[in-house]
């Protein structure tokens, strides 16, 4: 089933393989996407769907050095080069829109005393990845602990961020993307509102589950208003605790989120399970419950093999499967999976920052494919 077509939001995907968002930190000056990025994405256009790396909706939303934005004219023009290359190669691509919230570092926020979040909380283990020497993509990416206590967004500021998401979505369509994915996972800003231990607000955005889901709902509604529900997907990570975002009742919380997003009519939910060795196990019963509650397309990503992907599709709780790190090292991943060609090994030293090495220099398979 992995190699059968799928109809998604007016797009005819040639297969059910998704390249999920993966930060690579190769943007140029001004956080503008580059020709090298266009080459990277075009090389992987045989995926049924590509979701771009996280793309900040504003300067305030940036958390890592040399990540691309989509809030300036130059950034939109840079992304147009990427989408044109992907479409020329026969692919489809959505832009992942993010605001990292408390994960940002003050060095990336000129004139700001502290990063913003749902609450004035800082989680244990929160780290940011920036280039401390300002070398950019050529110099690699450093690892620094965040020292600044975040401050809670005011209600009026929340409205400003909602508007930033809407503007970014409009810019994404202007840049040629087929749609957008809202990043509501991995401990970033929307996730900081959703998860109970990251949100200690006492106003209409905190406390009860409907209040904690309110920001996600308002962002989704604002984006739908400018580009339509069929061009909007949402990424969720129900059971992970990345960046210290922990929920006391995650299954109830995320079934609630899925129900709300179903009512809003978004095109898909992208469920991030995680791809590290000790990742939390997502019970099949939970996945089946998501299928019952949510009527749109369901994408799952997290350490999937060909066999696991086929089983998930066959069992009916997934429609598409994301392959993250394998796509980094295997630009022709769908052909390799289809023809049982061994996968190339990922060079993790060059995941974040740098030039073409470990980015666009992975070869395609030499074995003939059909």
- pLDDT for the residue numbered 129: 43
Binning pLDDT at 50, 70 and 90, where does residue 114 land?
A: confident
pLDDT in tens, 171-183: 999 999 999 999 9
Q: Domain locations in the chain? A: 6-350
**If you average pLDDT over every residue of the chain, what do you get?**
90
Binning pLDDT at 50, 70 and 90, where does residue 134 land?
A: very low
Mean of the pLDDT values across residues 204-231? 98
Residue scoring higher pLDDT (247 or 276): 247
Residue 18 pLDDT more than 80? yes
Residue 65 pLDDT more than 80? yes
Smallest CA-to-CA distance from 218 within 246, 93, 210, 310 is with 210
Selecting from 3.40.640.10, 1.20.272.10, 3.90.1310.10, 3.20.20.70, what CATH number does the domain 6-350 have?
3.20.20.70
Residue 38's DSSP bridge partners are none
- Measured on CA atoms in the order 234, 239, 242, 246, is the torsion positive or negative? positive
Residue with tokens 């401050």: 151
The answer to whether the CB of 71 falls within 8 A of the CB of 171 is: yes
Residue 125 pLDDT more than 80? no
Binning pLDDT at 50, 70 and 90, where does residue 367 land?
A: low
- pLDDT for the residue numbered 126: 54
Q: Rounding to the nearest 10 degrees, give the CA dihedral for residues 70, 71, 77, 83.
A: 20
Binning pLDDT at 50, 70 and 90, where does residue 106 land?
A: low
Active site residue 188: yes
pTM of this prediction? Answer: 0.92
Token pair of 127, please? 């780290």
Mean of the pLDDT values across residues 153-157? 95
β-bridge pairing 6-8 and 11-13: antiparallel
Mean of the pLDDT values across residues 221-245? 94
Binning pLDDT at 50, 70 and 90, where does residue 278 land?
A: low
Mean of the pLDDT values across residues 114-132? 65
- pLDDT for the residue numbered 365: 86
- pLDDT for the residue numbered 108: 75
pLDDT in tens, 29-43: 999 999 999 999 999
Given the residues 41, 64, 188, 300, select the one marked as catalytic.
188
């Amino acid at each position: 089933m992995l190699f059968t077509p799928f109809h998604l939001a007016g797009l005819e995907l040639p297969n059910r393989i998704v390249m999920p968002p993966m930060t690579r930190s190769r943007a140029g000056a001004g956080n503008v996407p580059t020709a090298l990025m266009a080459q990277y994405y075009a090389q992987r256009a045989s995926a049924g769907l590509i979701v771009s790396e996280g793309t900040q909706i504003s300067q305030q939303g940036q958390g890592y050095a040399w990540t691309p934005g989509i809030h300036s004219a130059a950034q939109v023009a840079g992304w147009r080069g990427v989408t044109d290359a992907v479409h020329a190669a026969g692919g489809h691509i959505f832009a992942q829109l993010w605001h990292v919230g408390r994960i940002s570092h003050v060095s990336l926020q000129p004139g700001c005393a502290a990063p913003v979040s749902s609450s004035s909380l800082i989680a244990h283990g929160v780290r940011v990845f920036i280039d401390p020497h300002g070398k950019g993509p050529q110099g690699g990416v450093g690892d620094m602990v965040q020292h600044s206590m975040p401050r809670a967004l005011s209600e009026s500021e929340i409205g400003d961020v909602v508007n930033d998401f809407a503007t970014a979505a409009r810019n994404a369509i202007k840049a040629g993307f087929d749609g957008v994915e809202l990043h509501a996972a991995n401990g970033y800003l929307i996730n900081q509102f959703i998860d109970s231990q990251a949100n200690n607000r006492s106003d209409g955005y905190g406390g009860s589950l409907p209040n904690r889901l309110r920001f996600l709902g308002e962002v989704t509604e604002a984006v739908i208003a400018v580009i339509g529900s069929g061009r909007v997907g949402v990424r969720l990570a129900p059971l992970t605790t990345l960046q210290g975002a922990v929920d006391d009742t995650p299954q109830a919380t995320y079934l609630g989120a899925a129900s709300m997003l179903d009512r809003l009519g978004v095109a898909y939910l992208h469920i991030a399970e995680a791809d590290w060795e000790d990742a939390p196990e997502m019970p099949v019963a939970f996945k089946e419950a998501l299928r019952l509650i949510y009527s749109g397309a369901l994408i799952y990503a997290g350490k999937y093999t060909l066999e696991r992907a086929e089983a998930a599709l066959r069992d009916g709780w997934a429609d598409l499967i994301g392959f993250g790190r394998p796509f980094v090292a295997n630009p022709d991943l769908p052909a390799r999976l289809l023809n049982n060609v061994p996968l190339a090994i990922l060079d993790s030293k060059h995941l974040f920052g740098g030039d073409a090495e470990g980015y666009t220099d992975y070869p395609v398979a030499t074995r003939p494919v059909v």
